[in-house]
Amino acid sequence: MGSDFKAIPLIDISPLVEKIDDQNRANDKDLLEVVRRLDDACKEAGFFYVKGHGISESTMKEVRDVTRKFFHLPYEEKLKIKMTPQSGYRGYQRVGENITNGKPDMHEGIDCYTPVEPGKYGDLAKPMEGPNLCADLSRKIMRGIALALGGTIDAFEGETAGDAFWVLRLIGYPVDIPEEQRTDTGCGAHTDYGFLTLVNQDDDICALEVQNRSGEWIYAEPIPGTFVCNIGDMLKVWSNGIYQPTLHRVVNNSPRYRVSVAFFYESNFDAAIEPVEFCREKTGGVAKYEKVVYGEHLVQKVLTNFVM
DSSP string, 83-129: --GGGTS-EEE-TT-BEETTEE-S-EEEEEE--B-TTTTGGGGGGG-
End-to-end alpha carbon distance in the chain: 33
Pairing between β-strand 91-93 and β-strand 258-268 as defined by DSSP bridges: unpaired
**Beta-bridge mates of residue 209:** 219, 249
Handedness of CA 256, 63, 269, 307 (dihedral sign): positive
pLDDT per residue, tens digit, the chain (308 aa), is 568 999 999 999 999 999 999 989 989 999 999 999 999 999 999 999 999 999 999 999 999 999 999 999 999 999 999 999 889 889 999 999 999 988 899 999 999 988 777 888 788 777 767 654 899 999 999 999 999 999 999 999 999 999 999 999 999 999 888 776 777 789 999 999 999 999 999 999 999 999 999 999 999 999 999 999 999 999 999 999 999 999 999 998 889 999 999 999 999 999 999 999 999 999 999 999 999 999 998 888 888 877 75
Please state the φ and ψ torsions of residue 75, each to the nearest 5 degrees.
-50, -40
Task: Say if residues 259 and 202 touch (Cβ distance below 8 Å).
Answer: yes
- pLDDT, residue 289, reads 97
Is the pTM higher than 0.85? The answer reads yes
Classify residue 3 by its DSSP letter.
Answer: S
H-state helical runs in 149-262: 233-238
Alpha-carbon distance of 162 to 139, in angstroms, equals 9
Backbone angles phi, psi at 235, to 5 degrees: -70, -35
The pLDDT assigned to 53 comes to: 98
Classified as helix, coil or strand, 243 is coil
- Main-chain dihedrals φ then ψ at residue 292, nearest 5 degrees: -125, 125
Beta strands in the chain (DSSP E): 10-12, 47-51, 91-93, 99-100, 103-104, 108-113, 164-173, 187-190, 196-201, 208-211, 217-219, 227-231, 248-250, 258-268, 272-273, 292-293
pLDDT at 180: 66
Q: What are phi and psi of 263, to 5 degrees?
A: -115, 120
pLDDT for residue 148 = 98
pLDDT score of 109: 97
Cα separation, 257 vs 176, in Å, equals 9
